[in-house]
Amino acid sequence: MKMTSFASSATQDLMRLASIPHRSALSPFRCSSQIPRPQLSFSSSVQGFTSRIAIERKGRSSIPQAAAVRQLEGSLNRTEGLRFAVVVARFNEIVTKPLLEGALDTFRKYSVKEENVDVVWVPGSFEIGVVAQSLGKSQKYHAILCIGAVIKGDTSHYDAVVNSAASGVLSAGVNSGVPCIFGVLTCDNMDQALNRAGGKSGNKGSECALTAGTADAMRRCSWILEEYPVSEFLVLPGHHLYRMNYQKLIETHRKGKADITAVALSTARNQDPGFGLLKIDAENQVLEFTVKSETEPIQVRSSRNPVEIASIDKWSMGIFLINRDIMLKLLHEHFPKANDFQSEVITGAISRGMKVQAYLFDGYWNDMRSIKSYYQANMECIEKSNLGYNFSDRDSPLYTMPRNLPPTLISDAVITDSIIGDGCIIKRCKIKGTVIGMNTRIDDGAVIEDSVIMGFDICEVEGVQRSSRDGKGNGIIPIGIGENTHIRKSIIDKNARIGKNVMIINKDKVQEGDREADGYIIKEGIVVVLHSAILPDGSIL
């Protein structure tokens, strides 16, 4: 049985840098594997660690059997009895008030009762940590949202306040044992702050509320662990792109009689994937585990191997197969207040001498937690040589979700090494090495190279918008890509309106740039046009 992990999560902070909505990893697709024996799974996020737990039922056979599919999301959907506190800074109230309103609207949307949310105002972001810690220690709340806004000025005061606010919120969570969610905006100017408080970049207060609902989700959803007659739980990060046969992983876990099996990359990588470093012996037993935390690296050594022996280092993939009884003990008995699954729960299991072994994976794997890695994954899927993830693998195909869209219409266009979604209208243009999302409109003379076009979920009658006005006498630019526009090495987020004769080519080769007010940013040399941005005719980026 081959199963595929193909999702992107909340890596909210990194992916939302470009206001990219959370979706399946490569934009034109909303993919799911064709799995003959689907497993029960649910997703959760524990302090930014987004996980999918797959449950495998016991059976008479030694071969693992899968249950019927049932999806459960660790979120605010189960809000009965949950209480939240919101600590809000009054300084920069023009920003913090919309952030608070976004958080409260999210709570209302998910049926959190108003009497179960307490709002506490403090003078500024500097004071948030002290009040949050006091509220946490009262043991009245399941999570505390910390909302503020610090805008950079001409002095070093900004750095002092930002550092104090961040360390204060972190300390409040550690000392009180209650998740304290950091929702303090740190911006270069007021435009950036307002964009993040309900403007072009969404409302970070709303995102903060969602995070509060899922910070302790794995533990709060542990009733699933107790309810189902299962043997093991498979914990998966939700922002990876790879194809793995989980059956082999399960068989290796059982054969080794391990308490926990950690999946690691068998081949060396130039960069740390960010899930820690495993030191293993010749039999793949984990001797030592080093993982990053918010403050400093955490290194633990297994008490099962007190004597130094020969070992090799392998990067962890953040994937763990855990025995059911061990999972329950770790979450409820050994670490009942832990908020981070990897840096607290897994490291704790190793230090306690539990049998933790490694399973080495040698296939394609991409961790899409940044703009650059997301872009590279898209480009690799269309390369003829050095093909990354093969979406056309006949042994394990992927299918898009069914849509009621017309077929794509292509009129005298030159298209090479590209993927085109459904419902597009592509006129006399040139497209090379590009992923084109659904409902995209591309006009005559456009040239698009090495880019990702997210697509559109808005439909407009062609020609109507050009003839209408925006109140200032200007014609409104229609959705899509206008005539004679040139786009190179860029990501165009959904519903962008790009006018005629626009140049998105990063002609000055800028590596980092924040022009949210103008509808785009640049990350690691990649231009990202933001969601619903409008680029007037003749714009040069």
Q: Which two tokens stand for residue 203?
A: 């409302």
Strands 71-73, 117-122: parallel, antiparallel or unpaired by DSSP? unpaired
Residue position matching structure tokens 């194809």: 243
Structure tokens at 31: 């993919």
Number of neighbours of residue 159 by Cβ within 10 angstroms: 12
* From 22, 142, 157, 240, the catalytic residue: 157
Structure tokens at 108: 């209302």
Q: Which residue has the tokens 């989980």?
A: 246
CB burial readout 502-519, b (16+ within 10 A) else e: bbbbbeeeeeebbebebb
Local structure of 221: helix, strand or coil? coil
Residue 219: C-alpha distances to residues 22, 340, 341 (Å):
24, 11, 10
As separate numbers, helices (DSSP H) first and strands (DSSP E) second, the chain gives 13, 40
- Side-chain half-sphere exposure of 338, counting CA atoms within 13 A: 24
Could you give the angle at which helices 93-109 and 204-214 cross, rounded to 10 degrees? 40
What DSSP letter does each residue of 298-365 carry, written as one string?
EEEE-TT--S----EEEEEEEEEEEEHHHHHHIIIII-TT---IIIIIIHHHHHTT--EEEEEE-S-E
CA 212 vs. chain centroid, Å, equals 16
- What is the C-alpha to C-alpha distance for residues 246 and 422, in angstroms, rounded to an integer? 32
The answer to whether 181 and 132 are in contact (CB under 8 A) is no
Q: Match 């898209």 to its residue by tokens.
A: 378
Q: Which of 203, 133, 140, 141 is nearest to 168 (CA)?
A: 133
Find the helix or strand (DSSP H, E) in which 414 lies. Answer: strand 414-416
Q: Let me know if 157 is a catalytic residue.
A: yes
Helix (H, G, I), strand (E, B) or coil at 538: coil
Per the CB < 8 A criterion, the answer to whether 530 and 201 are in contact is yes
Integer Cα distance of 274 and 315 in angstroms: 8
Residue 230 three-state SS: strand
Residue numbers annotated as active site: 157
